[in-house]
Amino acid sequence: MTALSVRGLCVSYDGTPAVADAALDLDEGRVLAVLGPSGCGKSTLLRAVAGLEPATGTVCWHGEDLAATPTHRRGFALMFQDGQLFPSLTVARNVGYPLRIRRTPRAEAGARVAELLDLVGLAGFGDRLPATLSGGERQRVALARALAASPRLLLLDEPLSALDAGLRQRLAVDLRRILLAAGTTAVMVTHDHEEAFAVADDLAVMRAGRIVQSGPIAAVWRAPADPETALFLGYARVLDGPAASRLLFAAGLPEAPAVALRRSALTVVADGPLTGTVTEVRTTPGQLRLVVRTDAGDVDAVASLDRRVGPGDAVDLAVDATRMAALAGPSERAERTLD
């Protein structure tokens, strides 16, 4: 059943629109990731849902319009990108803050704080001050504090982006586990598609203030709405015209105006439907990454490390249909690649 429903939401600064006509629906207990490049207005959208930005349009919770409800009565906890822990309070008092606001009895609050710190893996950190914590620890405390509010909706604003890569991956898994365990309905804003896949059930892709596509994460992933969305979702390259037809045919898929390819959609094999000449080789720990010139144009491909290929070699390519997506529209920036 639909819990959060956003319709026609607009936010503008000095007449410049930051969010234009945004619509979102989120069912109880699910996690939605809003994915978009930095500056696309996704944080502003989140803040508008929290009631921190003056906006037009409606934000409803179970059908009730929240326009007149101030932030502190919405029951939407917002976890900031940099935690925003209260610097003068200890970890335990930070986490216990929402409980004190609600006059939770002291013993009960203490037990709940300990439980939450345990949940985020920081048992025994209660007496520390925020300034003595590492970035990852601070984000965990911020998460525990947001959960302590028992929010109807948890809003996460780039919760992991301030952290380094390895920690980010570990915390993303933790975050998913914690949200599932707490059964929390949540909206997370991120610019990292892997983080979105790791944490969320649903996905909304945002660009230049507009939501361009939304739905269950697997569905969005399988069928990006347009080339930009495909590239942003982690597809390495978008081809259109005859090149697209050639590849779709090789993969045994129906004809489409454009096709988005993951880097691993094409693999070097002994005998495949596509042939070409290697123009670039890059060695990574797990595989060789190649650029191959075929009759469908330049494409990315991978090869296992034991294959001895170099620039100028002729190779055969196999096509994996599950690693490519047919697109309805032609690409505007087909040559853009992402690592």
Please give the residues from 66 up to 95 whose contact with another protein meets the rule CB under 8 A: 67, 70-78, 80, 84, 86-89
Among 1, 54, 107, 166, binds another protein (CB under 8 A): 54
CA 334 to chain centre: 23
Please give the residues from 222 up to 261 whose contact with another protein meets the rule CB under 8 A: none
Choices 2-10, 50-58, 198-206, 320-328 (CB under 8 A): range interacting with another protein: 50-58
8-47 mask for another protein (x: CB under 8 A)? Answer: -----xx--------------------------------x
CB of 14 to another protein, least distance (A): 5
Q: Roughly what angle, to the nearest 10 degrees, separates helices 106-119 and 165-182?
A: 130
Alpha-carbon distance of 129 to 140, in angstroms, equals 14
258-297 mask for another protein (x: CB under 8 A)? Answer: ----------------------------------------
CA 114 to chain centre: 30
| Pair 56, 9: CB distance under 8 Å | yes
Count of residues near another protein by CB under 8 A: 35
Alpha-carbon distance of 24 to 238, in angstroms, equals 27
Q: Roughly what angle, to the nearest 10 degrees, separates helices 135-148 and 106-119?
A: 140
Beta strands (DSSP E) in 54-165 are 56-61, 64-65, 76-79, 153-157
Residue with Cβ nearer another protein (56 or 279): 56
Please give the residues from 96 up to 115 whose contact with another protein meets the rule CB under 8 A: 97-98, 101-102
Residue 145 interacting with another protein (CB under 8 A):
yes
Residue with Cβ nearer another protein (76 or 232): 76
Alpha-carbon distance of 290 to 299, in angstroms, equals 8
CB of 1 to another protein, least distance (A): 24
149-188 mask for another protein (x: CB under 8 A)? Answer: x-x---x---------------------------------
Residue 51 interacting with another protein (CB under 8 A):
yes
Residue with Cβ nearer another protein (149 or 196): 149
CB of 49 to another protein, least distance (A): 10
CA distances from 237 to 71, 193, 300 (A): 42, 16, 8
137, containing H or E segment: helix 135-148
Residue 231, token pair as written in the block: 């590239």
CB of 206 to another protein, least distance (A): 21
Please count the other Cβ atoms lying within 10 Å of the Cβ belonging to residue 27.
13
| Pair 160, 135: CB distance under 8 Å | no
Residue with Cβ nearer another protein (156 or 258): 156
Alpha-carbon distance of 148 to 138, in angstroms, equals 15
Residue with Cβ nearer another protein (77 or 238): 77
CB of 149 to another protein, least distance (A): 5
Residue with Cβ nearer another protein (148 or 243): 148
Residue with Cβ nearer another protein (17 or 215): 17
Q: Is 74 helix (H, G, I), strand (E, B) or coil?
A: helix
SS3 sequence of 111-129: HHHHHHHHHCCCCCCCCCC
Q: Which of 185, 203, 184 is nearest to 194 (CA)?
A: 203
Binding site for another protein (CB under 8 A): 13-14, 47, 50-55, 67, 70-78, 80, 84, 86-89, 97-98, 101-102, 145-146, 148-149, 151, 155
